[in-house]
A and B are shown apart, each in its own frame.
Chain A
Amino acid sequence: MSKANGVKRIALIASKGTLDMAYPPLILASTAISMDWEAGIFFTFYGLDIIKRAKLDHLKVPSLANPAMPVPVPNIIGALPGMTAMATMMMKNWIKKANVATIPDLLDICREGDVRLIGCQMTMDLMGVRKEELIDGIEVGGAATFLEYASEADVSLFI
């Protein structure tokens, strides 16, 4: 382990803003804290949507260029209006049926467990996102902030 105090650490980058890609960083961080590790997530580019108040409960599943959908949809159909909403609705039904935790639930667990949540300053400037648009408990920082944290991590993943 990297840290002198023997506590393990995971440092994650969340770079995607779709519903399916919001799960891995939040599941790994919440599980890590349940195992007494430290955890941090750096939300950059579209990943910033995961911590936006107005967006986090409305993340979507892409219907286009997504051959892994359990019900495969040809791209020409997936490109039609309403298909993203439909794919998202299907995924949300599966999530509910399988009793999988929701994104807001996982975010709450992460915040209660003191997961370090860092919003990317550059992305916020680029996309015109104000700190008030993000959920409470977010720290805003840049690549150097994340790298310093990650330099003492045992596990570091880009998602």
Chain B
Amino acid sequence: MPDSQRWIFRHLRRLQWGQFLGDCADALSLYLIVVGCAILLVKMLLPAWWPQTLWVFAGLPLVPLWSWRKTRLHRFTRTEATAMLDQKLEAGGLLMTLSETPDEQWREHLPQVESLWRESLPRIRPRRFVSLLAAPVAFVVATCFVPVRESSSLNASPTKVSEQITEELEEILESLEEANVLEEPEKEELRKELEKFAEQTHDQPLTHEQWEMADFLRQQMQMKWEKNERGLEAASSALDELMSKMANNGEVSAEQLEQFEKAAGENLQSLARKALEGSTEGMSEQMKQMLKNLAQNGKLKMPGDAEARKKAMEELKEMLENEAQKLAEQRGECQGLGECQGLGQAPGQGGVNRGRADAEMVYGKESDRENTKFKEVVLPPGFLDEPSKQIVRMTSSAPETDPALEAPRAAARKNDPAAGRATWFRKLNPKYRGVVRKFFNSNKKATPIPDDTEL
């Protein structure tokens, strides 16, 4: 005879499982939607919190526990389960009655076939559970695939930007100092400028002028790098030329050696300074001596012996290559500064910048210095209109001059080698002569040719 109490218990347990699945589905779907929204919000608004946000999944095991507790609090009673089973068995209330008032005689009137009891048990079909959770799970998975918004410097305050700019400039200066690129006066001058800049921009947003100042300082320091690199390059090419001549002729002339000495004297000052300061790792004694000579006298004083000279030249070449490579690396590091500090170097990526004009300009396939078609031509230095100090006449008083008119011209002539009489006497291409003549109206003899001041 089937044990009715056991079947009631099984029925009750299955009902509770069904109830738990329902509660769990409700709670889990709500939890997943909240988690998905949180992930989305963090990825959109607070990207810095993203990895930590994954900890919200730690609460996932708590949801079934909470659901189980809820199920326990609102669980089906034994009476309810019995009533349901009674209905399913079509016992007409006898099962309920016997559950409350056991009676052996009436017990025989319950269904006696066990399969009937088994078929009356409810079956767990978690369709609602699956259908309810499908959408939230898909939502959470989708939110996990949403890319994290790149953090920009929109959060950076203007004062912070000025601090960053100052720091960047200081770092570039330090890099220059480490590379021993700067001479002492230059170093001092840049240091002073930078201190002044830092003082002006301390706890203040950068003004337009200060931005320009920062650009100027950055450009100045960049130029120092370039100058040093060019020097090394020039020395290296001079050395190459000398070595190739040596290889062709077997020996170099004193004039060629002199030219190399001159080029080295002009371009290897930074290397010489290093030698003087003692940073001569891996150098031979001979090379150290040569660089010291260069620093003190402006000349390398290559060894007289051809073999020794060749060896020194090879060592110098190797050293120049190493130095150029080192310099390039340092410069690369220096150029990297500021790119990731919210300066908006990359156009369209937000940040505090000065517009798209900051975008790096890439021209394409430019020819290098060696293969360039048009060689740089340095004009001879100009001279003043009246360079001669020949006495024209003696006056009783001081000569009458207008310093206001003379000063700019003098400054211009001093700095611009192409200015002055050389320019005046330069041969003019025939095809431009008509234009020049028309401009100056040279046919009218009465009109004097305007001087430089009027131009």
**A, B co-complexed:** no
Q: Which residues of A line the B interface, CB within 8 A? A: none
Q: Which residues of B line the A interface, CB within 8 A? A: none
